[in-house]
Amino acid sequence: MSHAATTHHTSMGLDSRKMAFWAFIGSECLLFGTLISTYLIYQGRSVSGPTPGEILNIPVTSISTFDLLMSSLWMVLALAAVQRGDMKWAKVWLLGVAIGGAIFLGFQVYEFTSFVHEGLTLKTNLFGATFFVLTGTHGAHVTVGVLWMLTLWYRAMRGKLGPQHAVTVEIAGLYWHFVDVVWIAIFTLVYLLHK
Amino acid sequence: MEETKAVEHAHPTAGTYLRVAAILTVLTVIEVGVFYVPAFHPFLAPVLLFLSAVKFAIVVMFYMHLKMDSRFFTLVFGGPLLLASAVMLGLLFLYGVLTLGH
């Protein structure tokens, strides 16, 4: 059965998978909204250190932020390549997104490890609890995204991904860009506007 | 399929994507720069929140294609986003992080 034959559309003529995924992303806004709110409410209320000002490494996080932004560019280039049937470049960009995400996760592992060495854990204070839950949840989302990109890349390598699957790649892209926009908010609210 | 063609428009070109990436990079550099310049510190929060909102909107409009796609997707995403923003503001006022007046 061809892919086109299995594609479903809503009564409005919209792809039902995209519609469902946008609804999912909407629900994710509420999840991250509550986590960010919790972080902000408890910000500056820790009775013991380390505090954000003592421990956050802005230069390192700026580099990881740039890396995630660039991975979003590679994602749209991958989608554009799939749409025009240029699978050679689609494979390159999809692998690039996965590597970009893995580099971001590497930065996060480095950050978490150094924080633990400096005495900040989930149990240390309110900052540690809310920071690790918020950024850890985001990191878990990035991990899912990396695995998703690798799956698409593997399918492309086996010749099982083509222009007829452009919506599949577009939906993966929606997820990846959402992870990016959440980090845009976290970078500003947690790192640059810390107390 | 005809209906689909009527509501789903062509995506931007690679050139547009590259220009968007350049703008996002410049905005990120400005954000970090503002953070390190003491003269900006009295206005740090509004400036950074504005830049962050602009970056958020650019990614959603161009990379997530909401600018070109059906307005209904904007509604499906924008509704929960507004609700989340309202809940956040409500909680921040409730717990005294934000206050009216002084």
B15 and B65 in a single domain? The answer is yes
B44 and B89 in a single domain? The answer is no
Cα angle at A192 between A182 and B50, to 5 degrees?
Answer: 65
Tokens 């950074």 found at:
B48
Looking at chain B, which residue has its C-alpha nearest residue A189? B49
Buried/exposed code over A92-112 (b: 16+ C-beta within 10 A; e: otherwise): bbbbbbbbbbbbbbebbeebb
Tokens 């996080």 found at:
A61
Q: Which residues of B are less than 8 Å from A34 in CB distance? A: 84, 87
B78 and B35 in a single domain? The answer is no
For the domain spanning A16-40+58-192, the CATH number is: 1.20.120.80
Do residue B88 and residue A37 have CB atoms under 8 angstroms apart? Answer: yes
For each of chain A's 195 residues, which pLDDT tens digit applies?
Answer: 444 445 677 777 788 999 999 999 999 999 999 999 999 999 999 889 899 999 999 999 999 999 999 999 999 999 999 999 999 999 999 999 999 999 999 999 999 999 999 999 999 999 999 999 999 999 999 999 999 999 999 999 999 999 999 999 999 999 999 999 999 999 999 999 987
B63 and B78 in a single domain? The answer is no
B65 and B79 in a single domain? The answer is no
Domain boundaries, chain A: 16-40+58-192
Query: What domain range is B93 assigned to?
Result: 70-102
CA distance A57 to chain B (A): 12
CA distance A87 to chain B (A): 15
B59 and B28 in a single domain? The answer is yes
Confidence (pTM): 0.92
Do residue B11 and residue A19 have CB atoms under 8 angstroms apart? Answer: no
B88 and B98 in a single domain? The answer is yes
Q: Which residues of B are less than 8 Å from A58 in CB distance? A: 32, 35
- B81: nearest CB among A29, A62, A193: A29
B27 and B55 in a single domain? The answer is yes
Q: Name residues whose C-beta falls within 8 Å of residue A8's C-beta, 6 or more positions apart in sequence.
A: A15, A16, A17
ipTM: 0.91
